Each structure stands twice: as structure tokens, then as C-alpha cells.
Chains A and B, each alone.
Chain A
Amino acid sequence: MSAYLISVLTEGAIFGIMALGLNVIWGWSGDFDLAYYGYIAIGAYMTLVLTIGPAVAPAHYILGLQLPYPVAAVIAVVTAMAVGLIVGLIALRHLRGIYFSIVTLGAVYVMYVVAGQYVPLFDGYNGLSGLFDPMGDYFGFDYQSYQYFFLGLSLVLFVLVFLLMWRISGSRFGMALRTLREDERAAAAFGRDIYRLKLKGYVLGAGLGGFAGALFAAYLSAFNPSAWSPVEVIVLYSAVLVGGRGNIWGVALGVLIMGVLVQESTRFLPQLPGLGQLNTLHPQVLLAVRGAVIGLVLVLFLRFRPQGLLPERRYVDREPTLEVTARTA
């Protein structure tokens, strides 16, 4: 397996966990949350400050511990959930629709600006670095086999998260979240505490975002304000939408299409004749082409196939005794 393929698959697995977390919030609870990328960033930042050791001047950041990576990842997830809880407590109380989206957009920009400007927190614009091959020493991997190890780890974790989501999707909890998406008043009229239920879904989603962020930090070995931007969440939304909002198989498919195919295929764009100067700007132009395609796909799917390629599947009851009455009715 080439190093290239390894990186694509590792990124895909991490991206998949991000998308599954977003699916809880948007696919099931039905809220268009723009703060989501903030939880990924918190997961990544926290993992770093908990593993890379004390800051050496002129660097400056909080904690600076050297915890084992798995412990750091758990704390990172809890932190992301705590921040998610605070944002959720504020934004989910009375707000729905675009007002919810606007407040979460505000929340994520506050996170972004504070992380990027307030140096004592995560070293501001410089960001954090130095998490090299976590757990590699423990298992005694060399560089090459570590790449395989981390790919395997990411895939296994993706599968575990997928199984967890599969379990929740069919449970009463998952169904209750969907009743919120479908009609909140009816959900309340039939006994659902919509605020609490939405909060639970939101914090679960934020935790998955933080978890993906912890993996992302290990993969990148660094994190800083130029490594993320709040609007990156559009890529995740396009994946969930294209695959099938609410359907975890669809989300996995969407990740494959938007996260892997679109992202990677733009690397192989032909050198367009007549665009001489553009081709020299290659990396930047490629990224922009990718962005434009993703935005366009998002708009087109919203308009023409909002249920996605694999629409959410509903339980089909095949009780035979009822089939008889149904036929005679």
C-alpha cells in the first residue's frame, strides 16, 4: 500500500467519525449546527496540550502535560462535550431554525478568534505541534509500520463508532431524536422533554467531534488556526447530505464520495490548456476547485435530492396476521 493510499484512508476514517457525529445533530435532531467544527478543534487542541509537554519559550500554552495519548484523548472528548453542553444550553433553549444556526456560528467564531488570538491558551496563531506518533514507542513501531498501525487504529475506531451509531439509530433514543426533527410540538405533546433530548443529542455529537479531533491531532501531529476554519463544516454537511441525512450507511457513503473521491480526484485534474498561469498556482487552485465543487454539490442536492443517495430507511412491518386484514380491508 502506498503512503498516499494510507493517508487517504486514514483521513477518510477520521472524516467518517466527524460526519457520524454531525449526523446525530443534523441528521437525527434536525438542527443545522455551525459550531460543529469548533468541537473538532477543541478535541485536537486539548489532545496536544495534554501530550506534548510544557511550553518552551517563546511558545505559550495551557497545561503542557505529558499524558499517555489515550488518556489525553478521553479528556479532550470530555472537554469538547462540556463546551458543547454550554453552547447547547444557550442555543437550544429557545432557538430554532436560522436563529440557532446564527448563534452557533457566533459560538464557533468566538472559539476561532480566541484560539487564534489569545496566545496563553493554545499559543495563538502559531498553534501547537510536537505530537509524534503517539503510542508508537510503546508498541515499538518504526516509522513505516506506524503508518499502518495508525490507519488500522482509525479504521477500527470508525467501525466502533459506526456500530455505536447503528445501535442508537434503531433505539428509542434515536427514534425520540427523530420525533424532534419531524415535529417538535407533537414530540412535546407526547411527553418528550425536547430541551433535554436535544441537549443529549447535541453533546453526543460534540463528543464525537472532539473524538475525531483527538485522532486528527495525532494524525497531523500539530494543530493551529490555519489547520481549521469554521466553514470547513460545509464539507461535512455535504457528505451527510449527499449520502443520506439520518442514515448512517448513507453518511458512510457520503464520506466516501465527498471526503475521499471529490477530495482526491481534484488532485488529478488535467493541466488545463490555456490556463497557463492558473496551473502554476496548482495546490491553491486545486483546493479552490474542490471547495467550489463541494459547495455546488451541496446546493444541487438540497434542491434536487434532499434525502440523499441512500434515504433514511424506515422500519417496515411484515407482521403476517395484519397482512390478511390489510388485504380484506
Chain B
Amino acid sequence: MHEALLTLGFGIVTASILALSAVAFTLEYAVTNVANVSHGEILTVGAYAAYLVHQRTGSAIAAAIAAAIAGGLVALAMHSAVIGPFIRFGASPTVVFIATLGVSFVLQNVLVIFFGAANVAYTLDPGAPQHIGPFLLTPLDIEIVVSAIAITAALFLIISRTKFGKALRAVSQNRELARVTGINATRVAGATFFLAGLVAGYAGFILAESVGSFNPYFGFGFFLITLTAAVAGGLGKAFGTLVGAVMVGLILEFAGGYISASYNLAIAFAILAVVILVRPRGLFTNARRTVFE
């Protein structure tokens, strides 16, 4: 499962995909207070959906849309079938965390049952590489980066400017209070999962493009790095997570260059451990957390 991940070189392209995945993940956390371990499978499902639709229609745009919609539906299902009921049942965040790990395991294996465990090669024509600033990027890379930036911007506009965004922020700050003020927290959380799923599903598609292949485990591997970015930036904090994603992306690029890309995951987790130990609430807050404080 880790080959795809271990050979993943880091760069601006991957960093922008990481930003999408991490911001989506942090939004899921914001409205439920649950770290959704099955987040990676949204990307995986997105990649499979894109591949299947692309095969049938030959259109990359249709593939991208299919990835987003499939991701949105899977994320919505995760919330309405598992995370939501667990929360209503009064389960602690750790218990829901374990449950989502179980969901992740189920989804990976279901994908293996239907599609096999082998890598699926999936590439679009990248076009001729061009120099852009210090980077050597193909037109495909540029499309990926630009689309990621556009989606992130749209996401932030939705959070900060719309009525839905206001409800989302209210639920993330205080679920009970939001409920008292007439916000249907469960519905807002469901809608947030769908939105996050759209973004993550699309991220799965472009991740598959940039790696060139995928398999049922590929989203889980990327989830581990997503988690690092989100925790570094502050779980549940959209802007912090975005900064965290860019930072982790850049650090991994340099580390990959100087040490070896094979160790990316180990390096990511070393960063993560240090961040959690020093600043468990993310790098951009002053809060230190001890067992009792």
C-alpha cells in the first residue's frame, strides 16, 4: 500500500493537493470534533470514480466532476451513517476516532474486493514542462495548482461570507450554543461533510494524476500527511491548516531532496510528534496543553 506513497516526491503540486485535503479534513473536524480517519478513503473513492468516468467518457472534466461528487457522497455517508449517530449516542471523540478507523479499513477492503489491490495506472497528458519562477512545471501541474488555489479561495469565501459558513462557524465554536440559537447542527455538519467531500474527492483525482497511479490504500497513505498538516496548523482551524499544509509540503520537498523521498512519511510524523508535544493545539496558537491544564 505504501509504494505509491513512498515514491511520492514532494513539491508545489503535492503541497497544493495537500492543502485541499487538509482543509477539507479540518472542516470535518471543526463541525464534529472528530478526527475522521476515513478521510483518506474519500480521496481514494474520488480517484476511482474519476478513472471509471474518464474511461467511459474520455473527458477529464467529467472525471473531475465525478471525483468531486463521489467524494461528497462518500463523505456525507460517513457522517450520516457513522459519525453523526455516534455523536448523538454520546460517544467520546476517541471512540468515534476508532470507529472511523474501522470505516477506513472497511472501505479499503471493499475497494480491493471490487477493483483488486493492484496499482491502477492513470495519467493525463502532462504537456511540455515549462519554467515558472524556480519551478519546472507541466501545463497539467499548473492546472492542478491553479485549480487547488481557486477551490481553496472559494472554500474560504463560503466559510467567511455565506449564511451557511456562518452556521458552520457557529457549530464549530459551540455545538450546543448553535443548537440553542436554532441551527440544526446535524444538518450543518452533514452539509459540511458533503462540501469537504467534494473538495477531497477532487483532491483524490488530482493526486492520482500527479502520482500517475493509485490503489485502494493510496488515500490512507496521503491521509497520514494530511493529518500532519492539519495538526500542525491546528485541528478545526481552516486558515491555520492551510498554512500548515503549505509548510509541511515545503519541508517535505526539501527533506525529500536532501534525505530521500522514501522517508517522507517518517519525516512528516517526526514533525507531527514535535508539533503535538510542543504545541498540541497547532503552531499558531499560544495554548499549551498538559494533562490537567
Contact A102 B276 (CB under 8 A): yes
Contact A117 B260 (CB under 8 A): yes
Interchain CB contact (< 8 A) of B110 among A116, A117, A288, A290: A288
Check if B70 is an interface residue, CB within 8 A of chain A: no
Interchain CB contact (< 8 A) of B280 among A95, A110, A298, A303: A95
Min CB gap B77→A, angstroms: 13
A296–B98 CA distance with the chains assembled, in angstroms = 12
Given contacts A94-B291, A99-B280, A302-B102, contact A113 B89 (CB under 8 A): no
Stretch from B112-120, B169-177, B198-206 that touches the partner: B112-120
A contact residues around B290 at 8 Å (CB): 94
Stretch from B42-50, B52-60, B145-153, B263-271 that touches the partner: B263-271
A299–B228 CA distance with the chains assembled, in angstroms = 25
Contact A284 B117 (CB under 8 A): yes
B contact residues around A94 at 8 Å (CB): 277, 280, 289-291
Min CB gap A141→B, angstroms: 38
The count of residues in chain A whose C-beta lies closer than 8 Å to any C-beta of chain B is: 49
Contact A32 B276 (CB under 8 A): no
Contact A292 B269 (CB under 8 A): no
Interchain CB contact (< 8 A) of A298 among B91, B102, B220, B263: B102
B contact residues around A103 at 8 Å (CB): 272-273, 276-277
A184–B101 CA distance with the chains assembled, in angstroms = 25
Interface residues of A in 177-206 (CB under 8 A from B): 184-185, 188, 194
Contact A117 B109 (CB under 8 A): no
Contact B99 A303 (CB under 8 A): yes
Using a CB–CB distance below 8 Å, which chain B residues touch chain A?
A: 1-2, 6, 35, 82, 85-86, 89, 91-95, 97-99, 101-106, 108-110, 112-113, 116-117, 220, 224, 227-228, 231, 260, 262-263, 265-266, 268-270, 272-273, 276-277, 280, 289-292
A-B contact pairs, 11 of them (CB 8 A): A94-B280, A94-B290, A106-B270, A117-B263, A229-B1, A231-B220, A292-B106, A296-B106, A299-B102, A302-B86, A303-B91
Using a CB–CB distance below 8 Å, which chain A residues touch chain B?
A: 32, 90, 93-99, 101-103, 105-107, 109-110, 112-114, 116-117, 184-185, 188, 194, 229, 231, 234, 237-238, 278, 281, 284-285, 287-292, 294-296, 298-299, 302-303, 306
